[in-house]
Structures are given as structure tokens and as C-alpha cells.
Copies of this chain bind each other. A is one copy, B any other.
Amino acid sequence: MSALPHTPPAVPRINPERLWASLMELASLGATPKGGVCRLALTDLDRQGRDRVVGWLREAGCEIRIDAIGNVFGIRAGQRGNGMDGEGPDARPCDDPAGLPVAIGSHVDTQPTGGRFDGNYGVLAGVEVIRALNDAGLQTARPICVAIWTNEEGTRFTPVMMGSGVYAGAFPLDHCLAQVDREGIRVDRALADIGYAGRDSAPRFAAYFEPHIEQGPVLEAEGITIGAVEGALGQRWFDATVTGQDAHAGPTPLPMRRDALLAAARMVQVVRTIATDAPDYARGTVGQLFVHPNSRNVIPGRVEFTVDLRNARDETLDTMVSQLRAEAARIAREERVEIDLREVVYFPPCAFDPQLVAGIERHAARLGHPVRRLASGAGHDAVYVARTCPTAMIFVPCEGGISHNEIENAQPADIAAGAAVLLGAVLDAAAR
């Protein structure tokens, strides 16, 4: 048999300069003297940022929908429609699964001393995908949606990842609308003030992609351009208190001591050892530690510290916690102190969609970009969105792994590479 003749499809390509220019233009809104960005959620600067992106989406032919928590959806219609049944505020997500859009999203709010890329990159990579499709004159089968999630950073209002959490049903809408900032301003009031208290229902997605800077050091250190993110680590956080006995450092012989800091120091090492010995992207960190009375010549009678355990698998996380409790009991016995462990936070692990992750790897390889699988150690909107549809993230390197900092930086070539891989993966998903 001879090969069938076929017409190559139009090949859209992202425009690296345009993407970078949009990133820098958005970064100018709330720019700090040190080169970062301060654009807290639902402030007037956040309005300016949203307005800028919404303007670009409208220029690119997207229909804009805004839901009650202020999430913004810019929809480029596909051959199968715009992802909604009906018009305007009365429109509902379409009944036909084949008509659901492929979405790309992240956030445009920042930390008080935030950088230019965190969140903003994901949104603008989505804008660039739509611009590239327009340039190529290509209408995909499914619609394409760019999502801006409200208040991902959680700096002004808690909880973090508020918009995507409401979208995914993790938080009740009314609860979030009633949250207040330090000045007592409610979320619903702040949304209305900046013109983003929407009434549209949100679209459902066939698939969701979130490009993001890694916010960690792995890709840069290994010389890899694309991280195909397999999922986000589950987290179990503890508050620990060690109670021993204050005593004068001079007259108290070593065997008679009940030194809370010595016991805590052993626990700090235990946390590291447990994580080192565990599989599945295990992490273990003691980030905070307070000594009482914290005086040079007094044996510490009480130490408080935190434990942050993370893992990609819940079962492994359980094992790590069991080890932590067993070691705490052993050290308490040996050092004649009490060690109290109280669990304060649990985020379950989130596994992204294997097919989408494999697609990201495939497109990276096709484009000649070194790629490796990673887990996201931090939270992202994608973690909540993954509860509603197949989801994946694309990481690109950031300088020194530094983020949530005004010196956060990324290279234009990496930014472009991530968007190109995104475009390929989106086209696949939009054709299915």
C-alpha cells in the first residue's frame, strides 16, 4: 500500500518577542524599584493588570466571562462552539463533553515583594497561544479558554488559591466573599470596587494547563528547559513542643539535664533523615524554631518548632508521619523530655493527568528542549482545577530557584520554550 496523500495542517508558532513584551508590560503595573512587582489581589493595581489582559484577550477575539469570585475566562470559540449553552449571564457550561474548552491559566496577583513571572507567565502564555492561533488562522475543534484565577497568593485575603478553590468546590463562595483584609474590607466589596464582581457562570474544561516558573532550583541546576509536572506534593504540617526543664548551665551536670533544645536538635535531624530515606519526591523541613528562655547560660526548658513533610503519595506520607511519631517518642524517652506533635495542616497529594504529562514530554522532545518529570512542591491553582478535569503543569527554569522575591528572574528563551510546548499540548487536547 502506498501512503495516503495528506495536507499538512497550518502550523501555528508562538512569537517569543511578543510574549516577552506582554510579560514586561504587565510587570510595569505595580513595578517596584528593585525590579519586582507588588500587585496585591483586588487592589486597583490588580484591576489595572486584569484590565490589561482582558483588553488583550478581547483584541484577540475572545469572549470574556467573569464569575462571582472574580475569576476571568477569555474564550476563543472552536469548531464545536464556545463551551457554553446560552448567552451572557444565563449561559451554562455546555452539555456536550466534546464541546468543552481546553483551558490555560494562572493568576496575575503577586506577593508584596513579588516577581514578574510567578502567575503572570501562565496567563500570558495562554494569551500568546491564542494570538498564535489567530496568526495561523487556525480554528481548533474545541474552544480555547484563558483563565485568570482570583487571589492565588493569599497575601491580602485568605485562603490562598481562593478563585480556583471556589471554582473547584474546595471553598464555599459565600465564605470567601466574606473574608476581610487587615483594614476590614470584604472580598465582595473589593471585587465590586475594581469591577470584577461577575455574574457569569464559569465554563467547565476538557483539560487545563498551567505553565509556571519552577520556583525551585532543579531545572536550572540540571540544565533542563522543560519540567513535565506529574503532580503536586501532599503536605502534612505539625506544631511540635518539647518540654524539658530550665536549669543553670554551670551547676547542672549533663546526666541530670532535661534539655529541650538538645531533643529538638535531634528531631530536626530526624525530619531530614525521614525525608531522605523516603521515595516519591519526599521533603522534610523544620523552618521555624523558638527556644525558651533563650538565654546564653540557661539550659532550654521549652522549644517549639514546626515540621513540614511533603510527598507525592499519601501512603508514603503516612509512613513518614508514623516514623516521625515513633522517633519523637524515642527521643522524648532518651532525653527525659515531653514532645508533643499536633497536626495543623493537611493537603492531599495531587496527581496530574498521565496523558497530558506524556504529551508535554513528547512536545518538548519534538522541539529539542531537554525535559524531565518533576513534582510541584508548592501549591498552584492547577492543584484545585485538577479536581474538575485532566490537568498538567509545565515548569520552566527560574534563576537560582528564587521566587516570591523581587529578584525573581527567568530567561526569554525558556519562557518561549514553555509556551511552545504548551501550544503543542493544547493543540493535541483541543483536537480530541
The chain A residues found within 8 Å of chain B, CB to CB, are 214-218, 221, 233, 235, 237, 247-254, 256, 259, 261-262, 264-266, 268-269, 272, 275-276, 281-291, 294-300, 306, 308, 310, 376-379, 401, 403-404
Contact = CB atoms under 8 A, between A and B. Distances in A.
B297 A287 contact: yes
Contact of A214 (B233, B251, B265): B251
A283 B253 contact: yes
Copies in the complex: 2
B294 A291 contact: no
A308 B377 contact: no
Contact of A287 (B256, B268, B289, B298): B298
Nearest to A285: B249
A262 B251 contact: no
A252 B377 contact: yes
B266 A269 contact: yes
A376 B252 CA distance: 10
Given A217-B247, A247-B401, A296-B308, 5 more contacts: A218-B253, A249-B308, A250-B379, A261-B287, A287-B295
Contacts of A262: 268-269, 272, 286
Contacts of A294: 287-290
A386 B300 CA distance: 31
B288 A259 contact: no
10 contacts: A248-B401, A249-B285, A249-B308, A251-B376, A256-B401, A261-B268, A261-B289, A265-B268, A288-B294, A296-B308
A287 B404 contact: no
A310 B253 CA distance: 11
Chain A binding surface, main DSSP class: mixed
Nearest to A271: B262
A291 B285 CA distance: 13
A377 B248 contact: yes
A248 B404 CA distance: 9
B401 A283 contact: no
A417 to B, nearest CB: 19
Contacts of A295: 287-288
Nearest 5 interchain pairs by C-beta: A216-B251, A250-B377, A265-B268, A249-B285, A265-B265
Contacts of A376: 250-251
Given A378-B251, A404-B248, A289 B289 contact: yes
A224 to B, nearest CB: 13
Contact of A378 (B250, B272, B284): B250
Contacts of A216: 247-248, 250-253
A172 to B, nearest CB: 25
Contacts of A378: 248, 250-251
A297 B289 CA distance: 12
Nearest to A263: B268
A145 to B, nearest CB: 27
